[in-house]
């Protein structure tokens, strides 16, 4: 009891002698943190105007934030009489230890296989990553819904990141009637792909006969486009294929069912019926 | 001829890929037809000819008049051009197409 009383008395004396300094130091810390956050936000907005790479912007903004945070802590500590020399040394040690720990344990730390702005497919969700936090990822699907997906679910699931590769293959599959000119159809489909400005020249667009099916010949056009232009290019190519085939009088096959029936002569049919035993 | 040379020949003489597309039109300003582009020359091209033709058609619909004569500010002779200002064939017909055609010889 006496020990606690002496502690409170010591604290009271400390507040009397250094109370003002401590309050001013606390104020410097709070205002400094708010200002740091504001400055980092403004820097991020400014850099986004000039630099398109979001990773570079994040690294630059976060590095500035770390430096400013160090300055704020130093200024705050100096307010209560701590000399900057040992404080900077201490901060350097802490930073170096943190960097070392991250470098050593980096392969063991689970990281999300995408970054903000990427188009991804997580499970059945297809959309754009709007934000990531420690707990969840905010995903906006193309129909405008916003999903908050838990990160542990993402780490356990199969993720397709459409930004990982720059190009993507477009498949244009059509089925022709058997009486159509196959070679002409192949040429037309290849020309549709080759002539489109967004289809990459390498690898060359190709047309294959995929199947001699029950209702027609299935042709497969294959070409590569920029990943970010995939969807629109595919839709445009399908539209162009349809109108070009119409123009060239090449007809698509429809699902059909051929019914063959035999007309059997009455006498023959009666002959085919075997008499029952005893008749 | 090596395969690579053959592919180069095809790429040079057949596969002419435009960098992009713009809608080219003439607008009646102060009684004169002034040629303009959309997106403007300062803006980026549209990379889809399908989209550009659709855009051209919408511009034509917005500028269409009953008597087929341009009024002040209206757009006529609307077509699609590539990055070298060459007329692009309409992908549906395979031939050049001009919407709201008014005076083709001055275009």
Q: Which of A195, A197, A204 sits opposite B47 (nearest CB)?
A: A197
Q: Give the tens place of pLDDT for each residue, B60-103.
A: 888 877 666 777 788 888 999 998 899 999 999 989 999 888 76
Q: How far apart are CA A259 and CA A242, in angstroms?
A: 29
Percent of chain A with pLDDT over 90: 33
Asked if the peptide bond before residue A206 counts as cis, ω within 30 degrees of 0, the response is no
pLDDT of residue A273: 63
Nearest CA distance, A242 vs chain B (angstrom): 9
Q: How far apart are CA A235 and CA B50, in angstroms?
A: 10
The listed range with the strongest mean pLDDT (A78-82, B3-7, B14-18) is B3-7
Q: How far apart are CA B79 and CA B104, in angstroms?
A: 11
Tell me whether residue B99 is exposed, middle or buried, using C-beta atoms within 10 angstroms of its C-beta: 0 to 12, 13 to 18, 19 or more: buried
Q: How far apart are CA A83 and CA A78, in angstroms?
A: 6
Q: Which of B15, B50, B93 sits opposite A201 (nearest CB)?
A: B15
For strands A136-141 and A146-150, give the pairing: antiparallel
Q: Quote the DSSP letter at residue B87.
A: B
Residue B8 touches partner A, C-beta closer than 8 Å: no
Q: Quote the DSSP letter at residue B75.
A: E
CB under 8 Å to A256, separation ≥6 — which residues? Answer: A215
Cβ atoms of A217 and A211 closer than 8 Å: yes
Q: Is B40 helix (H, G, I), strand (E, B) or coil?
A: coil
Least confident of A254-258, A266-270, B3-7, B76-80: A266-270
A232/B51 CB distance under 8 A: yes
Q: Helix (H) and strand (E) counts for chain A?
A: 7, 8
Nearest CA distance, A175 vs chain B (angstrom): 20
pLDDT of residue A163: 84
Q: Which of A229, A236, A244 sits opposite B50 (nearest CB)?
A: A236
Q: What is this structure's pTM? A: 0.64
CB under 8 Å to A168, separation ≥6 — which residues? Answer: A162, A224, A225, A226, A227, A230
Q: How far apart are CA B55 and CA B45, in angstroms?
A: 13
Mutation for A interface: B17, B54, B89, most A CBs within 10 A: B17
Residue A83 binned pLDDT confidence (cut-offs 50, 70, 90): confident
Structure tokens of A223?
């070409």
pLDDT of residue B104: 44
Q: Regarding predicted confidence, which is higher, A244 or A84? A: A244
Query: Comparing C-alpha atoms, which of A128, A127, A225 is closest to residue A172?
Result: A225
Tell me whether residue B43 is exposed, middle or buried, using C-beta atoms within 10 angstroms of its C-beta: 0 to 12, 13 to 18, 19 or more: exposed
DSSP calls for A170-218: EEEEEEE-TTS-HHHHHHHHHHHHHHSTTB-SSSPPEEEEEEE-SSSEE
Cβ atoms of A113 and A159 closer than 8 Å: yes
pLDDT of residue B105: 46
Sort out which chain B residues have CB atoms less than 8 A from A197's CB and list them. 17-21, 47-49
Q: Regarding predicted confidence, which is higher, A105 or A208? A: A208
Averaged pLDDT, B29-38: 88
DSSP run (H or E) holding A127: strand A125-132
| Cα dist from A114 to A119, A122, A132, A251, A266, whole Å | 9, 11, 10, 44, 75
pLDDT of residue A116: 87
């Amino acid at each position: 009891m006496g020990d606690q009383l002496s502690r409170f008395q010591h604290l009271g004396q400390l507040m009397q002698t250094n109370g003002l300094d401590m309050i001013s130091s606390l104020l410097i810390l709070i205002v400094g943190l708010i200002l740091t956050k504001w400055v980092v936000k403004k820097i991020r907005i400014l850099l986004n105007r000039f630099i398109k790479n979001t990773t570079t912007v994040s690294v630059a903004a976060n590095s500035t934030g770390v430096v400013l945070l160090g300055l704020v802590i130093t200024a705050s500590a100096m307010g209560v009489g701590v000399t900057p020399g040992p404080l900077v040394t201490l901060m350097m040690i802490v930073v170096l230890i943190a960097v070392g720990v991250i470098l050593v344990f980096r392969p063991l730390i689970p990281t999300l296989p995408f970054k903000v702005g990427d188009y991804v497919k997580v499970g059945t969700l297809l959309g754009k990553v709007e934000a990531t936090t420690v707990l969840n990822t905010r995903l906006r699907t193309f129909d405008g819904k916003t999903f908050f997906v838990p990160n542990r679910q993402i780490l356990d699931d199969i993720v397709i990141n459409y930004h990982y590769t720059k190009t993507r293959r477009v498949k244009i599959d059509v089925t022709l009637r058997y009486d159509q000119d196959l070679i002409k159809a192949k040429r037309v489909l290849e020309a549709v792909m080759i002539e489109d400005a967004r289809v990459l020249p390498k690898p060359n667009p190709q047309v294959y006969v995929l199947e001699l099916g029950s209702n027609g010949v299935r042709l497969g056009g294959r070409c590569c486009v920029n990943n970010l232009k995939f969807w629109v290019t595919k839709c445009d190519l399908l539209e162009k294929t349809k109108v070009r085939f119409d123009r060239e009088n090449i007809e698509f096959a429809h699902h059909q069912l051929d019914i063959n029936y035999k007309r059997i002569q009455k006498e023959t049919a009666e002959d085919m019926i075997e008499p029952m035993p005893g008749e | 001829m090596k395969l690579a040379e053959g592919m180069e020949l095809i790429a040079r003489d057949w596969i002419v890929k435009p960098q992009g597309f713009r809608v080219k039109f003439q607008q009646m300003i102060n009684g004169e037809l002034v040629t303009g582009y959309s997106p403007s020359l300062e803006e980026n091209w549209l990379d889809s000819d399908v989209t550009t033709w659709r855009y051209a058609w919408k511009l034509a619909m917005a500028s269409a008049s009953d008597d087929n004569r341009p009024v002040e500010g209206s757009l006529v002779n609307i077509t699609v051009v590539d990055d070298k200002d060459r007329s692009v064939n309409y992908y549906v017909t395979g031939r050049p197409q001009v919407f709201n055609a008014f005076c083709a010889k001055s275009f």
